[in-house]
Amino acid sequence: MNERQENKLGVMPIAKLLAVMSVPMMISMFIQALYNVVDSMFVAKMSEKALAAVSIAYPMQNVIIAIGVGTGVGIMALVPKSLGRGDRETANRAANVQLFLAFCYSIIFVFAGLFLSEKFYRVQTNDPEIVENGVQYLRIVCVFSVGAFFAQNLEKLLVSRGSSTLSMISQAAGAVLNIILDPLLIFGIGPFPTLGVTGAAIATVLGQVFAAILAFFFNLRLKDEIRFSFRHILPSVKVIKNIYAVGIPSMLTVGLSSAMTYSINQIFLAIGTTATAAFGIWIKLQSFGFMPVFGMNNGSIAILSYNYGANKMDRVKKTLSLAMKVGISVSALVMVLYMMFAHGLLSMFSATENMYIIGMRAIRICSISMPFGACTVIFSSAFQSLGRSRYTLLINSCRQLFVLVPTAWLLSLLGDIGVIWFAFPIAEMITMLLAAFIGIRLIKSLSREPEMPK
């Protein structure tokens, strides 16, 4: 990182810096979330069971995302922190080792896709149409996951080097390609064959590969101390340990979403495919609504990590405070919009009459959880940046699994589908209180100890 970029992370006014680092990430993640929504919209036009098949695949897809994002977040915390401390050797090794890790992940998921996809579906449902469509979709996504892993890691490396705009361009380009290819490959428009759910999977992996290629090219073009080399690409125990110190809690945090989705799917599958499809729609809408918060977090992690490494704790606290205000305000606006336009949102997914009955209530109730969830997510990312990843894991375990799933199961015993949706705001409120309690204590400790150990 050159002197100009060091000054940007350590000197630029926080409000301007957070905007410069976060707005490009928000835009790119909006587009990424949009293509996930568009993917489901096109699949829903085939049939409700096709939508259910893609929804059931989400936990396994989320494992891929969890590993990629977790490693990327570890890179995004380690590289700027090392540069802030003047340790350019560690920063260089981290940037290179992540390429080796991404390759290893890809090999593992080739075997997972080939040998576990059908088993994954058959333990959840016996519906032959759902199983057939789902296995086709999941097998392609797993076997060709190389693009997903390299894209996640290389895009996060761009952010850690102070180039969030280039990260935005690579993510957005992959997402746009996916959106373009979806209808062409699903419905066989023009010279393209009609591939159905298989076409949706192919569009997804091609978009990821394109994003990875662009991100790699952009990283090569940056003029700073980071260089790709065979000398640094082989594993370093120290570097991998530092990456995973932050990355594993992130992996588990995102992975918990897979466990949550799988568990909630089991509750809804016992009720019917319509409820399962409605839950899949909400997961897409929730992800889309949280994109401003996730984008801001990706930008703020580099800021927090750099200034923590440089012992500039006033800037750390100002960044966290501003991120919290913006995140809660934006997610509250999303909540209001979702409540107002629930019917229109469902119409985008070719909803049946029964889907409207179940889905409108689901969206309006679940939307209540958005501001509480934003607060929790921001605290979680701050804990990671400040070396308190154990708090992140604790909070997100409660949020995604240990509070939400038991609450949903207990509410399901009442026999009313509509009541189950209250589990989402209940879980978010409880975990927000826990996150706030831990966060306030941490802020006080930072105030008492302005010189954090390096």
Domain assignment present for 390? yes
The CA–CA distances, whole Å, from 95 to 121, 169, 249, 285, 304 equal 37, 20, 20, 33, 19
The CA–CA distances, whole Å, from 385 to 317, 388, 440 equal 12, 7, 16
What tokens does 264 get?
């909630």
Judged by phi (left if over 0) then psi (alpha if -120 to 50, else beta), residue 446 lies in: alpha
Residue 330: what pLDDT? Answer: 92
Domain assignment present for 8? no
Domain assignment present for 242? yes
The DSSP annotation for 76-128 comes to HHHHHHHHHTT-HHHHHHHHHHHHHHHHHHHHHHHHHHHHHHHHHHHTT---H
Angle between helix 237-269 and 48-84 (nearest 10): 160
Residue 452: what pLDDT? Answer: 42
Domain that holds residue 134: 14-443
Q: How far apart are CA 364 and CA 351, in angstroms?
A: 16
Residue 172 C-beta-side C-alpha neighbours within 13 Å: 14
Which H/E stretch holds residue 242?
Answer: helix 237-269
> Which residue numbers in the chain have pLDDT < 50?
1-7, 450, 452-454
Residue 35: what pLDDT? Answer: 65
Phi, psi of 183 (to 5 degrees): -65, -35
Domain assignment present for 92? yes
Q: How far apart are CA 52 and CA 58, in angstroms?
A: 10
Domain assignment present for 365? yes
Domain assignment present for 453? no
Domain assignment present for 4? no
The CA–CA distances, whole Å, from 214 to 93, 152, 169 equal 21, 12, 8
How many helices (H) and strands (E) are present in the chain, helices listed first? 19, 0
Contact 41, 303 (CB under 8 A): no
Q: Number of folded domains in the chain?
A: 1
What tokens does 368 get?
């209540």
Domain assignment present for 448? no
Residue 7: what pLDDT? Answer: 47
Phi, psi of 216 (to 5 degrees): -65, -45
